[in-house]
Structure 1
Amino acid sequence: MPHKFNDARRNKFPKAKYRVTNCPDYNESLRRRGDVNIWFSEDVVEKWASPRRKTRGGQSRYSDLAIEICLTLRVVFRLPLRQTQGFVRSVARLMGVDIVVPDFSTLSRRGKGLKIAENRRAASKPITLIVDSTGLKVHRGDNWHEEKYGARKARKTWRKLHIGLDRETGDIVASKLTTEHVGDETALPELHTDIDADVSRFLADGAYDGQGVVDCLESRFGSGIEIIIPPPKNAVRGENAQRNRHVAAIAKHGRMNWQAETGYNQRSQVEAQIGRWKQVIGDGLQARDFGRQIAEAKVAAKALNRMTGLGRAMYERVI
């Protein structure tokens, strides 16, 4: 990004300032995020119970929608499972809804392998897809007992969250949670399975620079997709024509000019979305089992999209 090339003289550049142009609408959207009716509406009562199965086996008492609503409230309001059960029970009582709330053990058990119902906004035209990844902590207590009693420190672990962002709507159109050993290029094929829209432009950082990424994108979205990935400093020409043009443009006009001409600076939007995730949802995962962590990440992505649909801030630069 631009500040990396001007780090030695960053103090000589005035900091850009922006102002929100739709303050009333944006403030109301922020208020509505805390409205329980947004997350728990009366029309879900009919779908709360699980439909009768026609095959052999046990009958589920709660539908996947009921479990998803409970887990969504847990993610949005950052509640443990037992407090989630009590919270949903109180909401149902205040709304006068006659439903049986799943207990905390059922929420934990059904969270593994839960099918999340997608409700993304349909794209009327090909989108610009921006992809990036970040790390999420797996909470396993604090280090107080280790410092006090000199116990052996536990080996820390974390998960890697890969997200794909639609630049126009700000929605997370794809998300995938993996272990820390899975690279960005390796997770890309499965990440694209969640996208049900055509993609005309693809933006990513240098971690996605490779022929495997190009082959994956062209096989999924066609050979006409525009791929904007910065090549490394020591990059040389190869078989890919688009990458060769990027290498030549950087060598002739400089990397800063290439970023402005190609629109690569728009990739900052996915970094802002990652910051929003960690600010609103948190920088860690509550679930301990990897299968439940996957469901938690899916629920969190859907909740953030719901918040985005309520309203977004519109900015204009003043300095």
Structure 2
Amino acid sequence: MPHKFNDARRDKFPKAKYRVSNCPEYNESLRRRGDVTIWVSDDVVQKWRSPRRKTRGGQSRYSDLAIEICLTLRVVFRLPLRQTQGFVRSLAKLMGMALVVPDFSTLSRRGKGLKLPQNRRAASKPTTLIVDSTGLKVHGGNDWHEEKHGTKKARKTWRKLHIAFDPETGDIAATELTTEHVGDVTALPALLTDMDADVSRFLADGAYDVQGVADCLIEKFGHGVEIIIPPPTTAVHGKNAQRNHHIDVIAQNGRMSWQTKTGYNQRSRVEAQIGRWKQAIGDRLQARDFDNQIAEVKMASKALNRMTGLGRAVYERVV
């Protein structure tokens, strides 16, 4: 909104400049992201094999941890399943570990429905939650071939990734993957299902401006949660007192003043997180099966949170 509001006179004032104040620490954290020992724990040998089950049925050869490590390395380094098997096998050999690596078919089969708890850091105080969504490609024709050689346009499939971002810790608090036909409001209850943090403020764009979102947030976090969602220009008063107050403030002081007072401009941080996802992980899902795609997204969010834990850039404005 600020960029659109000032677009006609953007050349009249200089753009704000920032610099990273902790360059040595941040550079080292970026190097450590490529260190394979970050992604493989020291006790991996003891936990590699699955514990024997005491109920009827076949015995699993590999533990969930072994499958998670292999698939996480696949997501981080963008490897096909067969190359993932070879990569982990060579890594175990170089590290002197006597491990039998799961084959590619086992990785694909065990990836479906794999339970992955989110490894987000606990906030020191009631936190702010920022929610947004984006699209991830699945498969489709090559745009260059379509334009250069006039090939028939292929039907492309994509998924919708919903992200809940914690700006205090910089972690992805929750993710939800849906088909392209599921709206943001419909996916919100499932996105917040595993959230156990104390949320005091909720920020989202105008697509979430419906009464069902407010009811869902109050049921999940209590009546004390502050809901900051911009109402449309044609909005009228309803039964939501917070929304009515936002409408009155915007009508009296203007939308830009309302954004500054409520801190709505912080919502851009989740868009930056989406850009970080597509740069570090990619804008395309590798798996074809929907259940495997869900597991892939969970592993990607855990990997990004682990990267954040290694170190974050600290910015300061240049005067």
Counterpart check, 1:194 vs 2:194: yes
Structure 1 counterpart of 2:31, one-letter code: R
1:72/1:300 contact within 8 Å kept? yes
1:42/1:97 contact within 8 Å kept? no
Structure 1 counterpart of 2:215, one-letter code: D
Structure 1: give runs of 5+ residues left out of the alignment.
Answer: none
Structure 2: give runs of 5+ residues left out of the alignment.
Answer: none
The answer for the alignment partner of 2:170 in structure 1 is 170
After TM superposition, the structure 1 stretch with the greater mean CA deviation from structure 2, 173-182 or 153-162, is: 153-162
The answer for the alignment partner of 1:96 in structure 2 is 96
After TM superposition, the structure 1 stretch with the greater mean CA deviation from structure 2, 94-103 or 153-162, is: 153-162
Tell me, in whole angstroms, the C-alpha distance in 2 between the residues paired with 1:145 and 1:204.
38
1:16/1:317 contact within 8 Å kept? yes
Q: How many residues align?
A: 319
Cα pair distance change 1:257/1:67, threshold 3 Å: same
1:173/1:194 contact within 8 Å kept? no
Structure 1 counterpart of 2:266, one-letter code: Q
After TM superposition, the structure 1 stretch with the greater mean CA deviation from structure 2, 41-50 or 95-104, is: 41-50
Q: Normalising to structure 1: TM-score of the pair?
A: 0.96
User: Alignment partner of 1:292: what SS?
Assistant: helix
**Per-residue CA distance 1:17-40 (angstroms, 9 max, x = gap):** 100011111111001100000001
Tell me, in whole angstroms, the C-alpha distance in 2 between the residues paired with 1:317 and 1:266.
16
The answer for the alignment partner of 2:48 in structure 1 is 48
The answer for the alignment partner of 1:216 in structure 2 is 216
State the Cα distance separating 1:145 from its structure 2 match.
7.0
2:141/2:155 contact within 8 Å kept? no
The answer for the alignment partner of 2:6 in structure 1 is 6
Structure 1 counterpart of 2:299, one-letter code: V
Q: Normalising to structure 2: TM-score of the pair?
A: 0.96
The answer for the alignment partner of 2:267 in structure 1 is 267
The answer for the alignment partner of 1:158 in structure 2 is 158
State the Cα distance separating 1:196 from its structure 2 match.
1.4
Counterpart check, 1:85 vs 2:50: no
Counterpart check, 1:250 vs 2:250: yes
Tell me, in whole angstroms, the C-alpha distance in 2 between the residues paired with 1:146 and 1:271.
30
Query: Identity across aligned pairs (percent)?
Result: 80
State the Cα distance separating 1:239 from its structure 2 match.
1.0
The answer for the alignment partner of 2:285 in structure 1 is 285
Cα pair distance change 1:154/1:254, threshold 3 Å: same
The answer for the alignment partner of 2:75 in structure 1 is 75
Cα pair distance change 1:2/1:146, threshold 3 Å: closer
The answer for the alignment partner of 1:26 in structure 2 is 26
